[in-house]
Amino acid sequence: MIRLTRTSSPAPAPTRLEGTLVFLRPPQPDEWGRWAELRAVSRDFLEPWEPTWPVDSLTEAAYLRRVRRLVTEWKTDEGYSFHVFEKAQGRLVGGIGLTQVRRGVAQMATLGYWVGEPFERRGYTTDAVRLVVRFALKSLLLHRVEAACLPENAASRRVLEKAGFVREGYARQYLKIAGEWRDHLTFAVLQDDAAGEPPDL
C-alpha cells in the first residue's frame, strides 16, 4: 500500500512517502556519511549511466551544497528530491527526484533516480518510482512526468515500464553521460493514463 504521511523532518521539507518495500524522505544534512559511502562503493556501477562526477562529488562540503540547493528547489516548486530507504532495516539504498518542474500550460516534471549496487534488482527502484509518480500526479497535481534512459540500460527501461511509463520516442544526443552526448529513449506517464494510479507491488 502506498501512503503519503507527514513527519517532523528538519530539512528540506516534512514529506515522507511510504511504499511496500521502501520509504522516501528529503535528504538530510547528517546523512552525508551514508550517502557518500553508498555512492563510493557503487561508483563503477553508476558512472556509465550518469553525468561525469565532479572531483569533489563525495565530499561533505559538496553534499551540503547539494542539500541547500534541494531545499531551495523544493521551496520554489522547481524540484523535489528524496533519499530512498529500505523499509525492513532503514538502510539508504538510493535516490530519486523530480527536476525541471514546469507550471503554466506545461504542468510537467522530469524524473531521475539511482540505486546503489548492493541493492539492485530487489524492486526498490520500481517501488520508489511509483511513489514519486503518485506524489507528482496526486499531490503536486502535475499533468505529465517524463523520464529517459540510455537504450542499452535494460534495467532502467524495465523499471519505467513496470511503473506505467509509456515509451514515446528516441532523442538523439539527449544528455551528456560519462563525458559524451548520448542518445536516449524517452518515456512519460500522464495524469489521464491508467498508470496515473500506480499499482501496488
pLDDT reported for residue 54: 95
Alpha-helical segments (H) within the chain: 32-41, 43-46, 60-75, 124-134, 154-162
Q: Which residue has the cell 534488482?
A: 121
Domains and CATH numbers, the chain: 3-144 (3.40.630.30)
Chunked into runs of 10 residues, the chain (201 residues) has average pLDDT values of 38 74 96 98 97 96 96 94 96 97 97 97 96 94 97 96 96 96 97 59 34
Distance between alpha carbon 108 and the CA centroid of its chain, in Å? 15
CA angle 195, 48, 115 (to 5 degrees): 45
**Count of Cβ atoms closer than 10 Å to residue 17 Cβ:** 23
pLDDT reported for residue 197: 56
Cell triple for residue 11?
A: 530539512
pLDDT reported for residue 78: 96
**Are 189 and 144 a contacting pair, CB within 8 Å?**
yes
pLDDT reported for residue 4: 41
pLDDT reported for residue 194: 53
Query: Rounded to an integer, what distance in angstroms lies between the CA atom of residue 160 and that of residue 133?
Result: 11
Give which of 110, 106, 95 is closest to 36, Cα–Cα: 95
**Count of Cβ atoms closer than 10 Å to residue 196 Cβ:** 17
Query: Rounded to an integer, what distance in angstroms lies between the CA atom of residue 2 and that of residue 191?
Result: 17
Angle between helix 60-75 and helix 32-41 axes, rounded to 10 deg: 110
